[in-house]
């Protein structure tokens, strides 16, 4: 099918810089490989710097001329976010793409050093703070984009602004779905504010559908569905990581993508397939919720965005 969007559609990215969070494995790693093959400067921003270094060497083995760097970034720590952002500002004159890919499913409720519920901290608050702290580099770069990775699970997400951190009973799946809804509320509000400021940067979102990765692998249903023994039965529900990463890649480099666009697989339930523009829930387009989450995120992280400073 000629209409299928694949890696072949990715134009040469020579001279451009992409920063990907959570890029040592899974979808982030697959996207990094694509960008390295297209001559991009690739920065792997990961919590475990050792795993980031290993991922860099795996990419260099495949693409010897690749420019791949690593950055230590723990999104659960505002101090780590600040240190990593300072290094980005110091070491990179331009950032063309920021891909907020890192995510977590936390089985039992945990609280970070900053007092945040850990799923929300990893999947939203840390990304909000990091994006804000390096935004000046994006604003200095014409055609730059912020791509935030959501999930088909956002459809089951419910925002409870009176108990964002699940102090009144924790359900890990609801915490995850809420954080993925937050990713879209953040993207749409970020795009609105970028457009209002006349900024050269756009905000786009993507989701991978269902991928055969280690993500959430400590949960029995995921272990069952990703078992190689069941692949003949589950092929239509799950796809390989390289294909699952394509919506993220398309959101990042498709020249026709506009701010506020959301990409996902074109198959049944958006579980598998090739990347197309998809629709998110009415809840994700609630402008009051978008603004409320933004203001709360500013208060919690202490980070405000320098829209007018470019």
CATH code of the domain covering residue 109: 3.40.50.720
Q: Tell me if 123 is assigned to some domain.
A: yes
Query: In this predicted model, what pLDDT tens digit does every residue of 272-308 receive, in sequence order?
Result: 999 999 999 999 999 999 999 999 999 999 999 998 6
**pLDDT higher than 70, residue 76:** yes
Check residue 117 and give left, alpha or beta (phi > 0: left; psi -120 to 50: alpha). beta
Q: Are the C-beta atoms of residues 18 and 35 closer than 8 Å to each other?
A: yes
pLDDT reported for residue 156: 94
The pLDDT of residue 187 is 98
Per-residue pLDDT, 262: 97
Count: domains in the chain: 1
Q: With bands split at pLDDT 50, 70 and 90, how would you rate the model's confidence at 7?
A: confident
Please tell me the distance from the alpha carbon of residue 173 to that of residue 170, in angstroms, as a whole number: 9
The number of CA neighbours under 13 Å toward the Cβ of 265 is 23
pLDDT band at 194 (very low <50, low <70, confident <90, very high): very high
Q: Is the residue at 143 inside a domain?
A: yes
pLDDT digits (tens, 9 = 90+) for 139-188: 999 999 999 999 999 999 999 999 999 999 999 999 999 999 999 999 99
Q: How confident is the model at residue 226 (pLDDT cuts 50, 70, 90)?
A: very low
| pLDDT of amino acid 225 | 45
Q: Is residue 42 part of a domain?
A: yes
Average pLDDT (122-126) is 97
Domain that holds residue 98: 13-210+244-300
Task: Tell me whether residue 64 is in a domain.
Answer: yes
Q: Token digits for 119?
A: 């799923």
> Residue 14's pLDDT is what?
87
**Residue 234 above 90 pLDDT?**
no
Percent pLDDT > 90 in the chain is 82
Is residue 65 in a domain?
yes
The sheet carrying 275-277 orders its strands as 67-72, 41-46, 17-21, 97-100, 145-149, 202-206, 262-265, 275-277
Average pLDDT for residues 82-109, to the nearest whole number? 96
**Structural contact between residues 121 and 73, judged by C-beta atoms closer than 8 angstroms:** no
Residue 309 lies in a domain: no
| Rg of the chain over all Cα atoms, to the nearest angstrom | 18
Residue 108 has pLDDT above 70, yes or no: yes
pLDDT digit string, tens, across residues 18-73: 999 999 999 999 999 999 999 999 999 999 999 999 999 999 999 999 999 999 99
Average pLDDT, the chain: 91
Predicted pLDDT at 214:
53
Angle between helices 287-301 and 126-139 (to 10 degrees): 90
* Catalytic sites, residue numbers: 176
For residue 305, tell me if it sits in a domain.
no
Which residues neighbour 282 within 8 Å (Cβ) at sequence distance 6 or greater? Answer: none
Cα gap 1→21, rounded to integer Å: 32
Under the banding of pLDDT at 50, 70 and 90, the label for residue 228 is low
Residue 57 lies in a domain: yes
The percentage of residues in the chain with a pLDDT greater than 70, rounded to a whole number, is 90
DSSP 150-202: --GGGGG----TTSTT--S---HHHHHHHHHHHHHHHHHHHHHHHHHTT-S-E
Q: Tell which wins on pLDDT, 84 or 226.
A: 84
């Amino acid at each position: 099918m000629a209409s299928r969007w694949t890696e072949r559609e990715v134009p040469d990215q020579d001279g451009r810089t992409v920063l990907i969070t959570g890029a040592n494995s899974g979808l982030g790693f697959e996207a990094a490989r694509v960008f390295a093959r297209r001559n991009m400067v690739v920065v792997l921003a990961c919590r475990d710097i050792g795993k980031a270094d290993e991922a860099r060497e795996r990419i260099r083995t495949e693409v010897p001329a690749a420019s791949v760097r690593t950055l230590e970034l723990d999104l659960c720590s505002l101090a780590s976010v600040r240190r990593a952002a300072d290094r980005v500002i110091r070491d990179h004159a331009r950032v063309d793409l920021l891909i907020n890919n890192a995510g977590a499913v936390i089985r039992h409720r945990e609280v970070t050093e900053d007092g945040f519920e850990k799923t929300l901290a990893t999947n939203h608050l840390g990304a909000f703070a990091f994006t804000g702290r390096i935004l000046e580099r994006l604003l200095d770069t014409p055609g730059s984009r912020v791509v935030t990775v959501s999930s088909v699970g956002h459809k089951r997400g419910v925002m409870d602004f009176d108990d964002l951190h699940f102090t009144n009973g924790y359900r890990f799946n609801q915490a995850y779905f809420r954080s993925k809804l937050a990713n879209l509320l953040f993207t749409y509000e970020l795009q609105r504010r970028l457009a209002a400021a006349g900024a050269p940067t756009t905000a786009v979102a993507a989701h991978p559908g269902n991928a055969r990765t280690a993500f959430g692998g400590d949960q029995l249903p995921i272990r069952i569905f990703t078992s190689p023994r069941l692949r003949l039965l589950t092929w239509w529900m799950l796809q390989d990581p390289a294909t699952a990463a394509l919506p993220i890649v398309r959101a990042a480099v498709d020249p026709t993508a506009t701010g506020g666009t959301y990409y996902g697989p074109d198959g049944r339930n958006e579980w598998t397939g090739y990347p197309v523009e998809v629709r998110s829930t009415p809840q994700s387009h609630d402008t009051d919720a978008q603004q409320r989450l933004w203001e709360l995120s500013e208060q919690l992280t202490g980070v405000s965005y320098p829209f007018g400073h470019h």
